[in-house]
Each structure stands twice: as structure tokens, then as C-alpha cells.
Amino acid sequence: MSAEFDLVIRNAKVTTASDTFMSDIGVIGGRIVQMGVRLSTGAREIDARGRTTTPGGIDAHCHLDQPIAPPAKMSDDFESGTRSAACGGTTTVIPFAAQQKGGSLRAAIDDYHERANGRASVDYGFHLIVTDPTPEVMATELPALIAEGYSSFKIYMTYDDMKLNDGQILRLLALARTHGAMAMIHAENTECIAWLTESLLDFGLTAPRYHAASRPMLVEREATHRAISLAELVDVPMLLVHVSGREAVEQIQWARARGLKVLSETCPQYLLLTAEDLGIDDSYEGAKCVCSPPPRDAASQQAIWAALADGTFTVFSSDHAPFSFDDDQGKKPRGREVAFPYIPNGIPGIETRLPLLYSEGVLTGRISVNRFVELTATNPAKTYGLHPRKGTIAIGSDADLVIWEERSVLLTNSMLHHAVDYTPYEGRTLGAWPAYTIARGDVVWDGKQFLAAPGRGRFLPRGLPTMVARRPASGGVR
């Protein structure tokens, strides 16, 4: 007798953003077609008894093979980046197609498709980065691209080759409102950073740790408040990316309490690293943790954990920005230990994002496993127009699943599958790792081996966002 299903997951403790229940999961053609008890046979069967099954993770903020100014070059392309994602339980990634100043958005998209095509092993969409909002971009290119499935774009308030002024940001927010797109904002005050950087360098303070001193909480707090005000003026939802600490969280809670549609994202580095990881002396090792905004202090870590638990944050992403340490295209440009403003910004984390949050959040009781699913899969899918195809476990959804094994794991870079030569979390002991990652019904990671071929991942044109900001349940800043 031939099998009814391509794959059956038996005895799954199915965990969604809202519920936990026991069920078998029947998969045909990469989709979930039946759930219930005692399903008929599958060509392949996996027993998930005693383990938790969650939706595959969606990493809605990662950088893969993003063209940047030489000599810097990202270590991960779509092949190594999506391999690493899959081995850590992520089945969908949304990296960024960045417009070059003076170039078109369409050219950025075409180039990025070439970079991804035939290389990705999990499904992928693209955000846009708008660096040059010319009349052509505003009138024609951006509206057309939103309609074609690139329904979110990032706006930078800092970085000389990326930043936009308040007038440009207002016009882009108005465009997002007209076309239903999601604007993502990198909020740091660029003039404050420039002045602080100049002053530090004048005093000869060049070590990696001064990166954190050049971008204190205040510069993020001010820009966060300004971004919120610009969005309030236009009356449009927007999402603040990589929120790092207490004062920015307070601004978001203040905005929510006023009924503003402010969504927000945080990342593992703001839960688990502090400014001390950039160095307590002038050692260049601290370059490994140079990212923007920088990790803050222990009090800010606690504020970020609290905001993850209380519903303030909408999504939890890696902000994987893969620059190797011992690399003349990475953290040591042209082979040299450079002053902090010249260290490529960003840290790797596409594979460790989910195991870190599962271990440090769910297993410690800081967040429920349902909230874990909401932050890492369901809300990213709703925020970026992929729900319900992605981000949940339901009949009709893609069979993107993670079966978790709770066991002690000593994290070392040698066990990871990215092309970066370090992890900032080296030597930590985790309490869980995916036993299986299943992407559209294919087992792409079986707990030991990566099993997918480059090119199995498909491009995902995305719909419009369906996520709505919620008011704080209680205790928000008023």
C-alpha cells in the first residue's frame, strides 16, 4: 500500500504563538495538509515524542552577500548563510537589497537576485534599503517594487553612505502609508556620533571599545523619539530595528501608550553581550563585538528581556552581519588593526539566534515557548507579509518546522555552518538545539548534518504587512 503522505511527524507537541497541543502532522508537496491523531502512513515518518515542535524560524533581519564599500566584504553569501540558518532552525530569511547612492533600486534588486539564485537552501525574500530617494525612486520604482512583493524597506538615520535626512524620511513614510509597506528604521543620531567620534580620535582613543563610547544610549534614544514623531506626523506604522537598551524601550512604550503604531525588533546581542565585550582594555579582540547600536550594560539587558516578555517587542532577529575577525576584508581591513570608526560593523548570529533564545529565554522561564514562536516566526511573518503561508503550524501552511532537543550543547564556532571565523558566544553552554529542521517538508538538518542542496530555497514575493502594534498590557511608560 502506498503512503498517503510524503512526511508524517508523529506525536508532535505542536507549539504555535497561541496554543500547545498534541498532534500528528501530515505533509504533502511541502505543505501541511492534515493534523490530528493516528494519521495514515507517510513515505517518511519522524517521531517527535517528548520534544517540542515549533514553526521554522523567520530571520527578518540578516545581511548576506550585501555589496559594500571595499575592502570590506561579507563572509557569508546565500549558500553559507542559508546553510547556517537551516542548521539553527531558520527556514526563511529576509536579507537586504541595498540601493547604491546614484544607482536605482531596480538595479539593486536585479543584482541581489543574481547573488541568491541557485545558492539559497531555505526560502528567502528581500527587504529594500533606500539610500537615494530620487524622484524616479519615489514616483515609480519603489511603488512598483512594493507591488511586486518587496513590501518593506529600511531607512538609515546614520552611516554616511546610507543616511537620509528628516525630510526624506517623512516622504518615505508617506509613501509607505500610501502603498501599505513597512518602513524599518535604524535610529541613531548621526551628528552626535560624528562629533563624539571626532573627539575620541582627537584624544587618541582608537581601540574597538570606543565604538560603544561614540554611540551611547542617548544617540539611539533621541533618534528613536524622532523616528516615532515623524511616523506620528504621517500616521503610519513603522518598525524600529535592533533596539539595544532601556531608554529606547521607554520611547517605544511611551509611543504605544499614546496609541501609535510603533513596532520594534531586538536581537541576541542586546540580551547577551554588554559594552564590556568590546573590551575592558585596548585589545583588538573587542572588534568581534563591534556592531551598531553597540551592546549596552546589564541594566539595559534586563530592560530588553522585560520588553521581550511583556509584548513590547514585535520580532526577534539576528542582524547577522558576517565579517570575519582575522580577515583583511573583515574586522582587519587590509590586514590592519584599525581605529574603531573603520571596523566593519556587525556580528554573526544567524545560526545561534533561535538556540540562544530557546535556551536563555524559554528554558529559564523568562518567556513562554508560545511567545518564543510569536517573536521568531509568527510576528515576522505577519509584519512582512508572509502569514499564514509562513510563521505558523496550520493546515495549508508550508511545512516549515523545528523539532527541539533539550540537551546540553557547548557552543563553539567549529560546530557552526557559517563562513565567519568566530562567534561572539564561544564557550557558552546552551540547553537546546534543533534535532530536525524541516523546510517545505524537506529535512534540511537532522541534528548532525546539513542535508539540503544549494538552490532548493525559493524566492518569496511578499504581501503587505498584517501586523498591528499592541498597547502595553500594563505598566507601560505613560
The footprint of ligand URP (CB under 6 A) covers: 63, 186, 242, 291-292, 319, 321, 345-346
Chosen from ligand URP, Zn ion, none, partner binding at 392 (C-beta under 5 to 8 Å by type): none
Chosen from ligand URP, Zn ion, none, partner binding at 279 (C-beta under 5 to 8 Å by type): none
Chosen from ligand URP, Zn ion, none, partner binding at 417 (C-beta under 5 to 8 Å by type): none
Q: Give 436's strand partners.
A: 403
Task: Name the residue nearer to ligand URP (CB basis): 13 or 331.
Answer: 331
> CA 3, CA 249: separation in Å to the nearest integer?
52
Q: Which helix (H) or strand (E) holds 26?
A: strand 20-28
3-state secondary structure of 311: coil
> CA 380, CA 117: separation in Å to the nearest integer?
23
Chosen from ligand URP, Zn ion, none, partner binding at 291 (C-beta under 5 to 8 Å by type): ligand URP
**CB environment 422-442: b (16+ within 10 A), e (fewer):** bbbbeebebbbbbbbbbbbbb
Q: Least distance (Å) from ligand URP to the CB of residue 158?
A: 8
Greatest C-alpha distance within the chain: 78
Q: Least distance (Å) from Zn ion to the CB of residue 321?
A: 6
Q: Least distance (Å) from ligand URP to the CB of residue 30?
A: 31
> CA 91, CA 288: separation in Å to the nearest integer?
26
Q: Least distance (Å) from ligand URP to the CB of residue 45?
A: 41
Contact 454, 372 (CB under 8 A): no
Task: Name the residue nearer to ligand URP (CB basis): 251 or 318.
Answer: 318
Contact 108, 97 (CB under 8 A): yes
Q: Least distance (Å) from ligand URP to the CB of residue 129?
A: 9
- Amino acid letter, 172: L
Task: Name the residue nearer to Zn ion (CB basis): 244 or 359.
Answer: 244
Q: Least distance (Å) from ligand URP to the CB of residue 67?
A: 13
> CA 32, CA 190: separation in Å to the nearest integer?
47
Contact 259, 200 (CB under 8 A): no
> CA 97, CA 66: separation in Å to the nearest integer?
7
Task: Name the residue nearer to ligand URP (CB basis): 53 or 99.
Answer: 99
Chosen from Zn ion, ligand URP, none, partner binding at 419 (C-beta under 5 to 8 Å by type): none
Q: Give 434's strand partners.
A: 404
Task: Name the residue nearer to ligand URP (CB basis): 279 or 346.
Answer: 346
Chosen from ligand URP, Zn ion, none, partner binding at 345 (C-beta under 5 to 8 Å by type): ligand URP
Chosen from Zn ion, ligand URP, none, partner binding at 208 (C-beta under 5 to 8 Å by type): none
Chosen from ligand URP, Zn ion, none, partner binding at 251 (C-beta under 5 to 8 Å by type): none
> CA 114, CA 9: separation in Å to the nearest integer?
35
Q: Least distance (Å) from Zn ion to the CB of residue 184?
A: 8
Residue whose C-alpha is closest to residue 120's, from 78, 65, 77? 78
Chosen from ligand URP, Zn ion, none, partner binding at 390 (C-beta under 5 to 8 Å by type): none
Task: Name the residue nearer to ligand URP (CB basis): 72 or 452.
Answer: 72
Radius of gyration, CA atoms only, the chain? 21
Residue whose C-alpha is closest to residue 366's, from 320, 303, 425, 429? 303
Q: Which helix (H) or strand (E) holds 91?
A: strand 90-93
Helices 246-257 and 217-234: angle between axes, nearest 10 degrees: 20
Chosen from ligand URP, Zn ion, none, partner binding at 51 (C-beta under 5 to 8 Å by type): none
Q: Least distance (Å) from ligand URP to the CB of residue 347?
A: 7
Task: Name the residue nearer to ligand URP (CB basis): 186 or 462.
Answer: 186
Question: CA-CA distances (angstroms) from residue 28 to 22, 42, 412, 413?
Answer: 20, 9, 37, 36
Q: Least distance (Å) from ligand URP to the CB of residue 74?
A: 10
Task: Name the residue nearer to Zn ion (CB basis): 186 or 211.
Answer: 186
Task: Name the residue nearer to ligand URP (CB basis): 185 or 228.
Answer: 185
Task: Name the residue nearer to ligand URP (CB basis): 240 or 439.
Answer: 240
Q: What residues make contact with Zn ion under the rule CB under 5 A?
A: 186, 319
Residue whose C-alpha is closest to residue 425's, from 365, 360, 368, 366? 360
Contact 265, 315 (CB under 8 A): yes
Residue nearest to Zn ion (CB): 186
Q: Least distance (Å) from ligand URP to the CB of residue 81?
A: 14
Chosen from ligand URP, Zn ion, none, partner binding at 84 (C-beta under 5 to 8 Å by type): none
Task: Name the residue nearer to Zn ion (CB basis): 98 or 452.
Answer: 98
Q: Least distance (Å) from ligand URP to the CB of residue 46?
A: 36
> CA 394, CA 371: separation in Å to the nearest integer?
17
